[in-house]
């Protein structure tokens, strides 16, 4: 299941996890490490059962293909990947725009036939409707569309539309410094910190996935998600309590500084020892533990 370079023969898999702006984990999936991440990028977004409204999704380069750009746009969401070697990406323009952007002609080497996309727009909309209603999972659709060596008309249309959406995104990405900082620095750095927390929590048997079958593996990764969210909720509650205490003491707290506070810390967590889950005692508990004063 895994790439021999990293795991040896048949020894690896990937826990693909979806995280919100608030660092909560709202979806997870066990996938083969040999399959590109982009195949699964939409699965848990479309299967989202939380109250979160997903408007934008950020990934690294492995989560991107032209087809994924297309499907996100058809579903009314913004796809914002961090693209490695962005200067080497082929960009496209409409066939009718021969001389509109003379300074960009050296970069806009590809061509897109807009009349063909408009003519077949109903077919593209039906694909989006099938995904939205759950008639087919995005990963199954993407894998099937990419499986055939000679693609039919529909896969070509989806990819062509995706190239148009990708070109618009790349041009925005190059022009908008705020977008680059948000995508490259904030969102993906947050994801890396979450990986550190999950690795810290996944310590039993030295982080080895002990379950041999998909159901057991899904249960194991689901438990890891639950623990991760428990830590994030705990940290969030007590960080807010600490901020309230600082304000009461008269110290200034700037709202713009709070965007840099992430509830992903774990140095204060003791992960060894006995675990006691006393539900009745938890129900009777009132208020928070006293904050430590230094």
d(CA 13, CA 83): 24
3-class secondary structure for the chain? CCCHHHHCCCCCEEEEEEECCCCCEEEEEEEECCCCHHHHCCHHHHCCCCCCCCCEECCCHHHCCHHHHHHHHHCCCEECCCCCCHHHCCCEEECCCCCCCHHHCCCCCEEECHHHHHHCHHHHHHHHHHHHCCCCCHHHHHHHHHHCCCCCHHHHHHHHHHHHHHHHHHHHHHHCHHHHHHHHHHHHHHHHHHHHHHHHHCCHHHHCCCCCCHHHHHHHHHHHHHHHHHHHHHHHHHHHHHHHHHHHCCCCCCHHHHCCCCCCCCCCCCCCCCCCCCHHHHHHCCCCCCCCCC
Task: Tell the burial category of 119 from Cβ atoms under 10 Å away from its Cβ (0-12, 13-18, 19+).
Answer: exposed
Q: What percent of the chain has pLDDT over 70?
A: 90
- Count, residues in the chain: 294
Model confidence at 152: pLDDT above 70? yes
d(CA 134, CA 138): 9
Higher pLDDT, 282 or 8: 282
Model confidence at 1: pLDDT above 50? no
When pLDDT is averaged across residues 163-173 and rounded to a whole number, the result is 91
* Residue 61, φ and ψ in degrees, nearest 5: -60, -35
For tokens 């996935």, what's the residue?
A: 209
Q: What is the pLDDT of residue 72?
A: 95
Considering only CA atoms, which of 187, 127, 182 is closest in space to residue 159? 127
The answer to whether 220 and 209 have CB atoms below 8 angstroms apart is yes
The answer to whether 89 and 170 have CB atoms below 8 angstroms apart is yes
Lowest mean pLDDT, pick from 32-46, 151-165, 175-189, 221-235: 175-189
When pLDDT is averaged across residues 25-41 and rounded to a whole number, the result is 83
Q: What is the pLDDT of residue 67?
A: 92
Model confidence at 5: pLDDT above 60? no
Q: How far is CA 77 from CA 59, 72, 127, in A?
A: 14, 5, 15
Which pLDDT tens digit goes with each residue over 192-237?
A: 888 899 989 988 766 677 777 778 888 888 888 999 999 999 999 9
Q: What is the pLDDT of residue 61?
A: 76
Higher pLDDT, 238 or 272: 238
Q: What is the pLDDT of residue 9?
A: 47
Which pLDDT tens digit goes with each residue over 174-191?
A: 888 888 877 766 777 888
User: Domain-by-domain residue ranges, the chain?
Assistant: 4-179, 196-284
Q: What is the pLDDT of residue 207?
A: 66
Considering only CA atoms, which of 184, 160, 138, 156 is closest in space to residue 41? 138
d(CA 112, CA 256): 42
Question: Per DSSP, what are the bridge partners of residue 32?
Answer: 13
Model confidence at 8: pLDDT above 60? no
Q: What percent of the chain has pLDDT over 90?
A: 26
Which pLDDT tens digit goes with each residue over 85-138?
A: 777 778 888 876 556 667 777 777 788 888 889 999 999 999 999 999 999 999
């Amino acid at each position: 299941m895994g790439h021999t370079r990293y795991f040896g023969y048949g020894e690896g898999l990937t826990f693909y996890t979806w995280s919100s702006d608030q660092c909560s984990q709202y979806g997870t999936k066990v996938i083969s490490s040999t399959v590109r991440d982009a195949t699964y990028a939409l699965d848990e977004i479309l299967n989202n059962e939380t109250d979160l409204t997903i408007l934008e999704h950020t990934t690294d380069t492995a989560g991107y293909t032209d087809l994924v750009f297309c499907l996100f746009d058809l579903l009314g969401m913004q796809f914002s990947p961090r693209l490695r070697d962005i200067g080497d990406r082929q960009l496209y323009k409409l066939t009718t725009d021969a001389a509109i952007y003379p300074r960009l002609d050296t970069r806009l080497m590809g061509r897109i036939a807009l009349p063909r996309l408009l003519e077949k727009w109903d077919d593209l909309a039906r694909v989006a409707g099938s995904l939205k209603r759950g008639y087919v999972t995005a990963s199954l659709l993407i894998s099937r569309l990419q499986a055939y060596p000679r693609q039919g008309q529909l896969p070509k249309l989806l990819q062509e539309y995706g190239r148009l959406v990708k070109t618009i995104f790349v041009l925005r990405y190059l022009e908008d410094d705020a977008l680059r900082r948000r995508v490259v620095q904030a969102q993906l750095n947050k994801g890396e910190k979450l990986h550190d927390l999950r690795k810290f929590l996944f310590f039993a048997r030295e982080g080895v996935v002990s379950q041999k079958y998909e159901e057991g593996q899904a249960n194991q990764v689901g438990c890891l998600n639950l623990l991760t969210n428990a830590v994030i909720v705990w940290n969030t509650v007590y960080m807010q309590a600490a901020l309230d205490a600082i304000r009461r003491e008269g110290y200034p707290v700037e709202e713009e500084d709070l965007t840099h506070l992430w509830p992903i810390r774990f140095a204060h967590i003791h992960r060894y020892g006995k675990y006691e889950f006393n539900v009745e005692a938890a129900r009777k508990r009132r208020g928070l533990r006293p904050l430590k004063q230094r």
